[in-house]
Every structure is written in C-alpha cells, then in structure tokens.
With several copies, the nearest count.
Chain A
Amino acid sequence: MTERDEIEVLLENSAEDFLSSEFRDERLRNVYLGRNAYDRGFWRSIAQQGWLALRLPETLGGSGLQVRHVGILANAFGRRAVPEPLVACSLIPAVLAAHLGNGRWQEITGALVDGGRVIAVAWQEAPQRLDAEPLLTVAARAGGGYVLNGSKYGVVAGGWADALLVSARLDGEAALFLLPAGSAGLEITERLGSDGGTVALVKLEQACVPAQALLAHGSVVTEALELARDEAMLATALQLCGMAAAGFELTLEYMRTRVQFGRHIGSFQSLQHLAVDIGIQQALTRAACRAAMDRCEAAPGTIDARRAIAAAKARASDTGISAGRFGVQAHGAIGFAAEASIGLYLKGALRLAAYLGGGSQHRRQYRQLADLAQENA
C-alpha cells in the first residue's frame, strides 16, 4: 500500500466538498420513477472541476494524472451513488486518447475538457465478452469513407451521448471510428440501468461514415482498448468500494439509532454478526483494490496487473451487492421505501457489479490469466 500523495488527498477532499454541495440526492429519485437520471448540467459542472480530463495527458489539455487519482474520484462518486458515467464516458475515452490521440481527437479531448458533449464508447462485441479485439463488427472501405456493420453491447450512456467511439475490424486489423449520434445506420436500443444510468445495444447496419471518422487503425487500437478496459474495471471496483462503504455507514448509523423492542437494533447479535461479515468483505475489497492499483500503475497491461484487477472487480462486485442487500434488510420496512437512500446503494451496486463483469466472470478470469502466465513461463 503506497502512501497517498498530495494530489490524492486534495482530490478526495474536493470531491467530498463538491459532491456534498452540488449533487442533489433528490435527482436519484428518478431511479424509482423509471427515468434516466443523467444530468447534463451536472456533467458540465464536473467537467469544470477538471475531473473528466483527469486522465488525459497534459499535451491534450488534460491533467495527466494517474489511474489512482481517477480511483479516488470513482470512490467518491460511488459514495454518493452518482449515476453519471464517469468511467465509461470520461476515463475510457481519456485513456484511448492518451494512447491514440493526435489532432483528429480534438472533438473528444475537447468534450472531456469542457463537458459540452458526451462521448460514449462502443467496443464490446457480445453481451458477456470482455475481449478488446473487434472481430464481428466490420468496417469496409466505400467511396472515400467506410461502411460499418455489426452490433455493440453494453454501451453505457449510448443513447445519452452526442457521439460514439466505435471499434471495428478494418482490413483484418482493429480500427476506431467516431460516429455522431443519429448517424444513418446507427440503431440504439437503450435500457434503464438500476443505477439511474442507461446501457444500450448499438446496431450498425450499413452505417456510412466519412474518411475522417477513422481515428486510429492497427494493433495499437486493441492495446489501447485493453488498457482502457483494465483501468475502467479498476475504477469501477473503486466506485463499488465507495458505494459499499457509504451504504454500510448509512446502515450502521441506522442500526445505532433505530429502536425496536426497547433496544437499538444494532445491539441485536444476529444483525451485529451479519454486519461484521460485511465489514470483513469491505476490508478485503479495499485490500484487493489497493493491491490492484499498485500493480496497475507499476506494470500496466501485464498479466500480473490484469489478475489483480480481476480479483478487485470480483470482490468489489460481490461486496457492493452484499452491502446493499444487507442494508435494505437491516433497515426493515423503510429500506423498501424509495424515500430511504439505502435502496439506491443496492440498485447502484447491481448495475456496477454487472458492468464489465461481476464476481464469477472475474474469478474465472483470475484463474485463466494464471494458466496463461504459466504457459508463457
């Protein structure tokens, strides 16, 4: 566990300050009304904090900070159950830009700096697949431009975004295109996530784009997508970590104050023991996340780093859900009411646990990467 640097402490404090004043809990009630809870105004205001461009290199107008700084922020977002897609629409595009960016990326880097436009990334080729290499979505040259066909799954904020970064196979290699929302041949089926966000299936049917839509081409695209995916998993683990921690604190506070049968319910042994198990899971989650953060920064993209990230995402996904579930149960009837905040933590955790793979998938991944390491050795 490395000691926190100054920037981390600063970021944590300013995130806490900002979110406690700017973020309105009531907005989340939209979740219970079956409405998208994303807020463009809020998105722009976090851009003004510089948070969307945190991971963008300084040469591209960003802050050039490390993944652990995004982790601090993700944790803070989790603590407030913020639905806005910090990971999907800021971290991922920023990492891609950092690795692939040049002049043509201005539209993206600009969006990250001022938050005026939202960029979603469509890279998953199957609902449960986390491979970054595009295989089934294909781009062909047509006229001076390209025509794209295929399907992209799990596109967070796909319908909310102004433009999509889409990975596709071009001339047998990976390529990355920028498509504005509403492009012909782009069909978006969007569903409400339980966290108040959205997730979409993006279909490309003879989607024609001009030559300049191609932002990058070659194996470097897959490499960048892999790094972005890895960081996104880790940041999501930290978001879950924050979510679990805050939901748990809320629950413990309720247990310390709520009286039934003439006693504080937190003095009942059975609830205490359930709480201790959640406490232990949280300690393990924090430890797994810290270990992953250390390895991800020390040797990004290595099997070692990817294993640590898988362990962290697996543990964080399960802990997020358990903490939310326990919280609702420990709150009793009021926990089932939308007016209590605890339900938001359960709902948020369900979505974030699913995003980029949950417990079983990442535990399997953890083993498969070990097998791979052994083969390589």
Chain B
Amino acid sequence: MMASIDRRAMDDDGFRAEWRSWIAANYPSEMRNPLEKLTGEEARTWLRAQFRDGWRAPGLPVEAGGLGLPLPRQLIYQEELDRYGVARPLDHGLRMVAPILLRYGSQAQREHYLPRILACEDVWCQGYSEPNAGSDLAGLKTSGRIEGDCLVINGQKIWTTLATDANMMYMLVRTGGGTRKQEGITFVLVPLSTPGIRIRPIRTLAGEEHLCEVFFDEVVVPLANVVGEIGQGWTVGKALLGFERWSHGSPELIRYALKVLRQTAEAMGMAQTERYCEMADRYICDVDDSAALYEQVCRAAVHGKVAEEDFSMLKLFNAELLQRIVESTMDLAGQCGGIADVAPELGLTHDLEWLYMITRPVTIFGGTSQVQRNLLAVRALHLPKD
C-alpha cells in the first residue's frame, strides 16, 4: 500500500528529517553496519515495512508504484540509509527486474510483476552465468526451444545467489539464430516452481551455501514470459549488468573491513606501532579518496553526466582495496592468523578467515578484475583491443 502523502512535495530538509526518523524507528538496531547484504526473511521484513509506510522504491516512477523522486532526492534517501548503517537488501526485483520491465516489458508484464515486486510477493534471482560462461557471459549454452506458445528450457545456470530463497528467476537462454555469439539469446522470466527445475546450493570457501546451481530439464514456460523480442535478450540482459555495477561503487563494506583491521591491531597490541599506522594511513586515504570520487560521480550523475567507466574503475579499485585490507588484517594477526573462527581468548572478535574468504569473489564475480581491466583499457583509455 502506498501512503497517501507525496514525498516529492516536501522540501529537501523536511524529506531528510522525516526519512531519517522513520529509519531510526523501523530499522532493527542490531542489524546496523553489517558486512553482508540483507537477505531472506530479514530483507523482506525490512522492505515490506518501507512499502507499508510509503518509502519503498525511491527512484521508480509514481505510475509504476514508486516514489518518483528526482535523482538529488534519491541521493538524500541513500545518504540517510548509509548514515544509519542500514544494510543493503538483496532486492533483485526492484533493482534489476523493475527497470528492465519499465524499459522492455509488456504492459501485461508490468501490471503483473511490478506490484508483486514492491510488496515482496515475488523474490527474484538471476540466471546468467553458466559453468562455461562466466566472465565470457555471451558464451552461454542453456537452450530455449520454442514449441507453440511455450519456451522449453534445458541446461544449467550457476552462481545464482539464493535461488533457494527465491520464487522467480530472470534468465538468459539461447534460442538460436544470428552469427555473433551475442545474438540468438532471449531474456525470460521463469517461476522456480515450474516442473523440471532442480536447485543445488554450492558450498563455498567461506563455508556458506548462498550460491546455487540451477538445473533445467524440459522446463516449460509461456512465451508471454519473454521480455523484449526473442533473440534480443543480450541487449536486455546487458542493460541489467549496467545497473548492477552501480552497487559496487560504495565503500561501506570497506569501512567495515577497516574496522576489523583496527580491532585486530588492537587485539595484537599493535595499534600504536608505525607498522599498523602506516598501513592504516594508506588504507584510510584510499577509502576516503574513493568515497570522494564516488560522491563526485554521483553528483555528476544528477547533472545527467553518467560515466559508466568511472563506476567500473571504482568497482575495480574498491574490490582490490577490500582484499588488500583483509589480507593485511590476516598478516597483522601473525601467529593468530588462519583460525577459522572468532578467538576471543586471543582478542579476535571477528572471524578473519571468513572475512578473507568472503572477500575473494569481489574480484571474480561480475567480471574478474582482469576482464574489467580489459574493458577499461579499451573503453576508458581507448587503447586498441587485445
């Protein structure tokens, strides 16, 4: 339910104050400043509260059920969330599917899915990567065979975050045709309850099972679930990759890692040493300069100057910075390193090994750092292609 007041009518300060106090009243304080995204039931509870009180979907147009805030106001919205240390929820529905439906979806698709996204009735996951199509996404092989007014899907997706917690997947399948491998790909929405779908969680180095393999065996979905034209899925899907990159630019995870670095230095009695100070000085400047760039890029975006390359550079820099901080933390731990647990008896109140492992994929998923550099060399630096 949308609240009846129009958030757009308020002035900036009034908007900020009201949003700030709403956050403080509604966001569970024990969940502040988290290291990971909010997922599962916790995410839904938080998003439904926003929806209930008319704070959900700041950027979505009013006619689509959102607040329709202009970009500067959206920045205020996000600033207040960051200030309070609110976890970013895993919300593929709003962040990925809604923009795509607005741009490429049919009237019927928008009317059916958008309200369900806003109310968190549907939980979405992504079906892009495949065992042999990772960094080289366009190499995907999962097939979609058209039979009458249905698409019959066979194949396998992998690295799908929390497929186990979702009921809907947006995915890319190869329907054939075209000569370049980017052609003949179709973007389709698939209910995970469809017969023939099997989900297997993948245990990771961090000891978790958030990532999944999803197997498709003669899975039949109506052609009405195709978004955009058959065979034009690469255009649709690539637009989403653009959206996704935005989320990596913010240095909040890094600030958390900095805290762990400091805590570890304190636990090891090294917080006053030159070694720690010099290391921390470097990282703090890295983080703050990165934040300055992020802020400037966001403000430039307000003025319509979106620089995709700047975001890619931030993502790359932040990902590797995060790893450097975590690696230094492990190094500071010295002989207390390599313990797969907290160790309060040694003063270590964080599980350093978990942090080390959970930060491995930041330079892998969404295009490895190597692939990111290839792209930036050509797009941002205009160097000839390899």
Contacts and interface: CB of A to CB of B under 8 A. Distances in A.
Q: Determine whether A and B are in direct contact in the complex, meaning some CB atoms lie less than 8 angstroms apart.
A: yes
Interface of A: 1, 29, 31-34, 127-128, 153-154, 189, 191-195, 199, 201, 252, 255-256, 259-264, 266-273, 275-277, 279-280, 283-288, 290-291, 311, 314-315, 321, 325, 328-329, 332-339, 343, 346-347, 350-361, 363-364, 366-367
A350 B136 contact: no
Contacts of A266: 377, 383-384
A328 B361 CA distance: 9
Contacts of B207: 32-34
Secondary structure class of chain B's binding surface, majority of residues: helix
A267 B205 contact: no
Interface in B341-362: 341, 343, 345-346, 353, 356-357, 360-361
B43 to A, nearest CB: 22
A360 B364 contact: no
Contact of B334 (A189, A261, A328, A358): A358
Contacts of B343: 191
A287 B381 CA distance: 18
A367 B337 contact: no
A51 to B, nearest CB: 24
Given A1-B296, A275-B377, A338-B203, A284 B317 contact: yes
A354 B336 contact: yes
Contact of A311 (B288, B353, B374, B380): B288
Q: Which 3 A-B residue pairings sit nearest by Cβ, starting from the closest?
A: A351-B338, A272-B377, A287-B293
A347 B368 CA distance: 21
A284 to B, nearest CB: 4
A273 B345 CA distance: 42
Contacts of A194: 338-340, 353
B285 A336 contact: no
A336 B205 contact: yes
Nearest to B159: A333
Interface string B273-299: 001011011101110111011011001
A239 B159 CA distance: 33
Contacts of A287: 289, 292-293, 296
Nearest to A264: B384
B292 A269 contact: no
Contacts of A260: 134-136, 139
B241 interface: no
20 contacts: A256-B383, A260-B136, A261-B136, A264-B383, A267-B384, A272-B377, A272-B381, A276-B377, A276-B380, A276-B381, A283-B313, A288-B289, A290-B296, A333-B361, A333-B365, A337-B202, A354-B336, A364-B277, A364-B278, A367-B280
Secondary structure class of chain A's binding surface, majority of residues: helix
A359 B339 contact: no
Residue of A199, A256, A284 with most chain B CB atoms under a 10 A cut-off:
A284
Given A364-B281, A367-B281, A336 B338 contact: no
A145 to B, nearest CB: 28
Contacts of B341: 191-192
Interface in B181-233: 202-205, 207, 211
A283 B331 contact: no
B130 to A, nearest CB: 10
Interface string B246-282: 0000000000000000000000100000010110111
Contacts of A153: 335, 346
A267 B381 CA distance: 11
Given A191-B339, A339-B202, 7 more contacts: A191-B343, A194-B340, A283-B313, A333-B129, A333-B134, A356-B335, A366-B288
Contact of A354 (B289, B327, B335): B335
B386 interface: yes
Interface residues of B, number: 75
Nearest to A281: B317
Contacts of B356: 350
Interface in B294-322: 295-296, 299-300, 310, 313, 316-317
A346 B323 CA distance: 14
A332 B135 contact: yes
Interface of B: 129, 131-132, 134-136, 139, 158-159, 202-205, 207, 211, 268, 275, 277-278, 280-282, 284-286, 288-290, 292-293, 295-296, 299-300, 310, 313, 316-317, 327, 330-331, 333-341, 343, 345-346, 353, 356-357, 360-361, 363-365, 368-370, 373-374, 376-377, 380-386
B346 A201 contact: yes
B285 A255 contact: no
A294 to B, nearest CB: 10
A261 B371 CA distance: 10
B46 to A, nearest CB: 27
A325 B299 CA distance: 32
A1 B310 CA distance: 15
Nearest to B300: A1
Residue of A31, A287, A337 with most chain B CB atoms under a 10 A cut-off:
A287
A364 B341 CA distance: 28
Contact of A358 (B313, B337, B353, B381): B337
Nearest to A273: B373
B290 A269 contact: no
A335 B364 contact: yes
Contacts of B377: 266, 269, 272-273, 275-276
B339 A337 contact: no
B334 A357 contact: yes
Contact of B132 (A259, A286, A355): A259
A151 to B, nearest CB: 9
Contact of B285 (A31, A262, A361, A366): A366
Contact of B340 (A192, A264, A315, A338): A192
Contact of A337 (B204, B288, B313, B327): B204
A307 to B, nearest CB: 9
Contacts of A267: 383-386
A353 B334 CA distance: 8
Nearest to A3: B303
A272 B386 contact: yes
